[in-house]
Structure 1
Amino acid sequence: MTHSNSSALTIFNTYKTQTYESKTIELRSPILHIGSEVSQLNPFEYVQVGTTIYLPNPEALAQALLKQGGRFLQDYMATIEKKESIASLIKLAFGDTWQEKLKQLSDVRPLWTQDEGQRISMLRPMIRNGIGQLYIPGSSIKGAIRTAIANYFLNHQVPPEQGVSAIESELRKRLSQGELGNKQQQKFVDDTLFMDNWFGDYSLQHQGKEYNPKYIQNRDILRAVKVSDTSPLVKHTRKNKRGKKVGFNSPVVAEVIVSSHFPDWLAKYKAPLYVEMVRNVRTEFTITLDQEMLSWFRHRQGIEIPFSTIDDLLQICQEFAQQQWDKQVEYWQNLRNNRHREKSLNFDLVWDNFYGKPDCPYTLRLGWGSGLFGTTINHVFAPDVQQQIRDTCGIAAPNFEAPKSRRTVVNSQGDIRYVPGWVKIQKAEG
């Protein structure tokens, strides 16, 4: 018997979890950046003093300027309207104590650079919660898990007639006929191609009755998975096993190198970016799997749900991470160090500390810098399809493999050392 959509929705909305698994998950990362709604800060939103970046609290700064009297507050508002730097205004308003006052009113970030005179013109901020603390949204983690599950479906569950060849054929057709639509529509093309089928083509069987909800979100198997935001990324120190103090959740402004390569695989310098990042991340979040709700889902074409425990989810993520890693190893073992446009492109530390290891030590790739391979299942498609998708949906780079460029992070000694976004997630001890 098939019941109405409203009946199914009522059951979903009034259902109280009876059987579930909930685990605290520890998340670690060498360095990462999760973007905010604002892609870059305006000149009035930060002040650079040598190798220190100050991010003033606008409300606190406005109140402090008001207390100084005169036209300082009005001048501050005018500076914001003109989108100009507030550095000279702060010096004038607070006199000899301006730097101390600025420190009191700001989040302070060291700028990783060896050049004392280095001036940054664009700064990408990291996401903050409602009270201004850095964190990782649960939605970002769950989105990465969803992509890992899609990868697992394709590798293990989907019948051949719905597999890579079929998806590639449809993609080639849509690309050749210009049917991917505008930029907004392109973001959701994978939903109509396969995601809606793999995650949402389910009926629900509960208490001996079958329900067929109208809306995809009510048929989505990941409705049974809840992922919390992480704890705030609060800077702190701990002693390691050798008794040495180690800093965690250290916010920095780092230079990010955007590079690609010439046809002979000599490294090619494209551009630098300055990004607010968190170094040596240690935090926690919670995954809750409603096992009873998950048991309700029945795929209309018989595809099995590939997880029933949180351990299953972590293993699925690990498999996807390894496949991404393998693709990166292919790239980096071919790349040759080079000096280009007065920039020394020496990636030996990236190889030594990351891709020189055949086994991926991470479980997911999150946030900015993870690229097409980290946020999609593009790695399974033929190179020419990858390229056409990139050229259509992103920034075109005709006759060049996709993804074309890589992002790496320069450390405080000026060496290209880190790759952003790789994270290890595992059940927390205790």
Structure 2
Amino acid sequence: MSENKLPWKIKKYKARFVALSPIHIGTGEVLPACRYVLPPEGQDQGWCLKESFSAGLLAEGRISIKDYMEKPLSLDMPILKRGVDDGNFLYPISFTKAAREKLKKEVKPFVRDGFGRAYLPGSSIKGMLRTALAFSFLMNEEQARKNLLKQLDQLEPKGLIEKMNNVSPKNIKEIRKKNAARVSLVENLFRPLEKEKTDPKYDILRAVKVSDSEPIDTPLVVAAVNIFTSKGSRIEPLSSDTPPTFCEVVDPGTEICFEITLDEGLLVKLGESNPSKIRIKNHYDLLSALQDHARVMVNIEKSFLEKNGVNDVWDKEYEQGEDADYAIVRLGWGSGWTGSSLFPILSCDDPEKETPKRPLSRKIVISSKGEPRAMLGWGKLYIEEIPE
């Protein structure tokens, strides 16, 4: 086949993600507490056990159904003192002090491969890119933003943005309920105007492929997370009766690598038929969109913490540097509406300004005393071209 029949130009990029705060990407499942073995006092490393081993303890009557469902095990316990075959350890894991002291009932596991190794799914990263591209486009194209607002309002009897600005326990489920028409409006930002070209094969992100990451080679950590809500000038737990949520998280400082592939020829072809929608030429467009998104969410979250007297939870590392070769991102569970929705850019004329109408609750990692300790989901992303 002649070269002129192969117009696509493939560019590969190495992406390096550095966790700045605890990161959790879950499976949608939970594991009973007895799947976890706490380390002896003074040691850091515990374990997650294979399901068959924990179920065997229950079947043999060595633990009660109550303990099976509610309590982690310990290597000091009599039922384990006889030793556990290494084949029954699924993967090593550490525990925060809060998790060691408070863990019961269940843990949200991090997504893992068939060998029990944690990794970042390419689909989660691509979803983050998609949100940032749409956010940046709407931030820089006022008419497109007004058009989308009008279309969204036409879908809702009382207006979606009005509902989100007046969120309450009564309407939160309605707001969060998946709505195919809403999704379609946002997806059309990535596709040409012509009706016959609004199907997924014309989506410009077809030309962007994101691999699953390499396995994360350091043990994850079980952390305790609580929901805090703003009350005047302070934050407090949403409910004093609600126990923390326990989840496996990537420790801050962990570096994780994956690949991004751009079909630059296809980007050009799809961009030509998509002149007034989202366009991508190269990886700099991805970084630029992520940086636009970062500047808005950083200001909102920093302002929220300052207004509620928990400045020590904020880290300057979360702030997007000017002319930087990286982008600050939020990824996974707990990144909230700033990290995974378009609401900040649609809800008011100044999206960077914190307003009383915005959501007042945040998921925050807690200390053993139940105090706010760290935000979830913050990271730094570098993208560099792989030489041919």
Q: Considering the TM-score relative to the shorter chain, is it more than 0.5?
A: yes
SS at match of 1:381: helix
Match of 1:372 among 337, 357, 368: 337
Aligned residue number for residue 236 of structure 2: 268
Candidates 159, 168, 192, aligned match of 2:143: 159
Counterparts of 1:6-21 in structure 2 under 5 Å? 18-21=8-11
Give the SS at the match of 2:221: strand
Structure 1 residues 403 and 352: CA distance shift in structure 2, 3 A:
same
Match among 163, 183, 187 for residue 191 of structure 1: 183
Match of residue 233 from structure 1? 216
**8 Å Cα contact 2:49/2:90 also seen in 1:** yes
Q: Closer, same or farther in 2 for the Cα pair 1:123/1:50, shift >3 Å?
A: farther
Residue 313 (structure 2) aligned to one of 339, 350, 355: 350
- Give the C-alpha shift of residue 402 in structure 1: 3.4
Partner in structure 1 of residue 346 of structure 2:
381
Report the Cα distance in structure 2 between the residues aligned to 1:301 and 1:139, rounded to whole angstroms: 24
Q: Whole-Å Cα distance in 1 between the matches of residues 99 and 33 of structure 2?
A: 21
SS at 2:31's partner residue?
Answer: coil
- Flag the 1:156–1:56 CA change in 2: closer, same or farther, 3 A: same
Separation in structure 1 between the aligned mates of residue 173 and residue 224 of structure 2, nearest angstrom: 35
C-alpha distance 303-19 of structure 1, shift in aligned 2 (>3 A): same
Alignment-derived partner of residue 7 in structure 1: none
Name 1:38's counterpart in structure 2: 28
Q: 2:167 — aligned with what?
A: none
> 1:332 and 1:286, CA in 2 relative to 1: closer, same or farther beyond 3 A?
same
Give the letter aligned to residue 178 of structure 2.
Q
2:258 is aligned, of 276, 279, 285, to 285
| Secondary structure at 1:34 match in 2 | coil
Shift of 1:135: 0.5
Label 1:198 to 1:423 Cα distance change in 2 as closer, same or farther (>3 A).
same
* Secondary structure in structure 2 of the residue aligned to 1:311: helix
Q: Deviations 1:323-358 (Å, cap 9, x if unpaired)?
A: 11111122122112xxxxxxxxxx342135467x58
Q: In 2 relative to 1, CA 18–172 (structure 1 residues): closer, same or farther, beyond 3 Å?
A: closer
Residues 48 and 92 of structure 2 are in contact (CA less than 8 Å); yes or no, is this contact kept in structure 1? yes
Residues 362-413 of structure 1: CA deviation (Å, up to 9, x unaligned): 4321101111111111002336xx9xxxxxxxxxxxxx74322112224689
Q: Are positions 1:224 and 2:207 aligned together? A: yes
Q: Distance in 1 between matches of 2:138 and 2:147?
A: 6
CA distance in 1 between partners of 2:317 and 2:88 (Å): 38
Gap change, CA 1:58 and 1:186, over 3 Å in 2:
closer
| Residue of structure 2 equivalent to 1:121 | 105
Comparing 410-419 with 222-231, greater Cα deviation is found at 410-419
Note if 1:29 corresponds to 2:13: no
Could you tell me how far 1:234 is from its partner in structure 2? 0.6
Task: State the shift of 1:184 in Å.
Answer: 8.4
| CA-to-aligned-CA distance 1:24-61 (integer Å, 9 cap, x gap) | 11111123433333342224433446676531023566
How far did 1:117 drift? 4.5
2:119 maps to which of 108, 112, 135: 135
1:57 is matched with which residue?
Answer: 50
CA drift at 1:230: 0.7
Instruction: Kindly report the root-mean-square deviation, in angstroms, between the aligned alpha carbons of the 2 structures.
Output: 4.3
Does the aligned pair in 2 maintain the 1:111–1:254 contact within 8 Å? yes
Q: Report the secondary structure of 1:31's partner residue.
A: coil
Determine if the alignment matches structure 1 residue 308 to structure 2 residue 281: yes
TM-score of the superposition, structure 1-length normalised?
0.69
Q: CA deviation at 1:316?
A: 1.1
Native 8 Å contact 1:134 1:233 kept in 2: yes
Letter of the 1:303 counterpart: S
Q: Distance in 2 between matches of 1:72 and 1:428?
A: 51
Q: CA deviation at 1:187?
A: 4.6
CA distance in 1: counterparts of 2:210 and 2:7, whole angstroms: 15
Could you say what secondary structure the match of 2:333 adopts? coil
Q: CA deviation at 1:110?
A: 2.4
Task: State the partner residue of 2:360.
Answer: 404
Give the counterpart letter for 1:349 in structure 2. D
* Pair 1:353–1:257, CA change in 2 (3 A): farther
Q: Which residue of 2 aligns with 1:4?
A: none
Contact kept, 8 Å, 1:50 with 1:116, in 2: the verdict is: no
Distance 2:99 2:138 in 1: 48
Does the 8 Å contact 1:31/1:281 carry over to 2? no
For residues 90 and 157 of structure 2, the distance between their equivalents in structure 1, rounded to whole angstroms, comes to: 53
Counterpart CA distance in 2 for 1:348 and 1:101 is 46
* Structure 1 counterpart SS, 2:314: helix
Task: Specify the structure having the higher radius of gyration (Cα).
Answer: 1
TM-score relative to the length of structure 2: 0.75
Listed as ranges, the gaps of 5+ residues in structure 1 are: 1-14, 66-70, 204-210, 236-249, 337-346, 387-399
Identity %: 23
